[in-house]
Amino acid sequence: MATEITASLVVFLVALPLCIGVAVASGVPAELGIISGVIGGLVVGAARGSTLQVSGPAAGLAALVAETVLQYGVAMLGVIVLGAGILQIVLGLVRLGRIFQAISLAVVQGMLAGIGLPLMFSQLYPMSDSKAPGTPVENMAGLPGLIADTVTNPDALVAAGLGAATIALSFLWKGMPGPVKKVPAALVAVGIGIGVASLPGVDVQTLQVGNLLASVDVPGPKEFAGLADVGIITAILTFTVIASAESLFTAAAVDRMHSGPRTRYNPELIAQGAGNTVAGLLGALPITAVVARSSANVQAGAKTRLSRTLHGLWLLAFALLLPQVLALIPISVLAGVLVHSGWKLFAPAEFPKMWRQDRGEFAVMTLTTLVIVATALLEGVLFGLAAGIVLAALRMSQTVIKQHLEEDTAKVVMAGNATFLRLPQLIEALEAAAEAGRPRIRLDLTGVTHLDHACRSQVEEFVAQQRGLGLRVELLMPGPAKPAGTPTGVADTAVGEHVPSPAHPAGNAPPGQPYAPPATVPAPGPSPTAEWFYLDTRPMPEEYPIRPEEYVSR
């Protein structure tokens, strides 16, 4: 019990500045961030699903919330969060929690980077007691002007100094001695910021904190009428997907930090939905699982859900009993905390790492990040998913097509996965075989592991066309494994295809004279009218003249 209480206090100290900072970055009153933190502890924390991960307002959703509030107002935020919470509960009840684990890691990392990069640039402005211009691109373009204005304004320079000191402290705090580094760096930065802001002559912007209960804004009929707006429905779907994905990705990360009970994804998704439903009814910020608070909980030695539940109680007690302390916190310090959080989300070291591991996945990751920065979170994620699917399809269609000309035969040998994506190469090879001028064409597809409808149709049309022109076409198609005892060198093929026969080694078996297999071997394959021939088992020469039209590379 003592360990759980101690861990809950550590999580509370980490969560307090983050809840306030996320609210400020989202463009809503600071009290709403605390309310969401309380709900994340008392509602989500007490529910079954995950044991040690902690939920609350997340920096990853700050830019999305700010954009939504700017477009629809704070009053509509509650309806959107409420709708997202109900959808999460439904997804959990129909057991779709694990579907979010099927998303490519490159898309996930690209999404996090696309969230972190705009967050950093947007918080550089409040870090200097200025207002951000708007979109991520506008924020980046306005940095030279921000620097010029900050340098010429002594008060803004002090605020920027506090923010920079907070960032430096966040990066360097892990190197402090054991007992000291157990105190959260964000809390130390807040303490230093309060001390500097209270000095004579220092004029920096601090939090404007009101009554916690008075900040509750229950949506009314007017707000629910907004559900007829397609934009509101789109926002609900966006919040649902992003909040669910972030929570379940965090659950997987937290599970790797400890050896206790594993997360049950569907109950956890229901718990997150319950939290967002309550948050929506109170008009608060959306809730997700958060890595920073969760890792602090694990490192503090927590073993049960008690610690994360109690941290919500401490947040509630602090906001109700000591609200005047919150009004002393400089905004620039909270912005510095969020710049550090954005850097961790951006994780620039992951890009060269991904480049070394898989350049295709690196392209997906980079494109996802760039599209999110240039457009919006949902568009970027959808683009990343589409790019990941295209990459997977291309890699699944690894096909090798070779051609070899003999005295009277044009051979085409194909292996791998033949899908419609490789149809141009297949058509080119078939046309080259037809143009070779040989009286016989042999198509060997026995090495094909998957032949989709498009490629199969193309092959069958080619065979029918060439046979109609009087050419002898031998087609070896992929099929099921041969039964035990099947003689080596005999291939099973579809009805009407040429198959080897020991009675006709030259491959000129007349129609109507099928090869009868030994009595001990079942003959489940072709009909009695099929033509049979010996399978040519000689390996294709390693070196032979190749023309461009005779070889299609991988």
Range with top average pLDDT, 37-41, 134-138, 247-251, 478-482: 37-41
Least confident span in 250-259, 345-354, 471-480, 530-539:
530-539
| Helix, strand or coil, per DSSP, at residue 552 | strand
Q: How confident is the model at residue 514 (pLDDT cuts 50, 70, 90)?
A: very low
How many other CB atoms sit within 10 Å of the CB of residue 396? 13
| Helix, strand or coil, per DSSP, at residue 147 | helix
pTM beyond cutoff 0.75: no
212 versus 33: the higher-pLDDT residue is: 33
Tell me: the pLDDT tens digits for 347-371?
899 999 999 999 999 999 999 999 9
Give the phi and the psi of residue 474 in degrees, each rounded to 5: -105, 120
Q: Answer whether 386's CB lies under 8 Å from 405's CB.
A: no
Please list the alpha-helical segments (H only) found in 198-229: 221-224
Q: What is the pLDDT of residue 542?
A: 54
Gap between the Cα atoms of 53 and 264, Å rounded: 12
Tell me: the pLDDT tens digits for 96-152?
888 876 778 888 888 888 888 988 998 999 999 998 888 889 999 999 999 999 999
Q: Report in angstroms the alpha-carbon separations of 123 from 140, 338, 349.
A: 11, 7, 21
Continuous segment of H or E residues that includes residue 314: helix 306-321
- Residues of the chain above pLDDT 90, percent: 47
Continuous segment of H or E residues that includes residue 409: strand 409-418
Gap between the Cα atoms of 367 and 385, Å rounded: 10
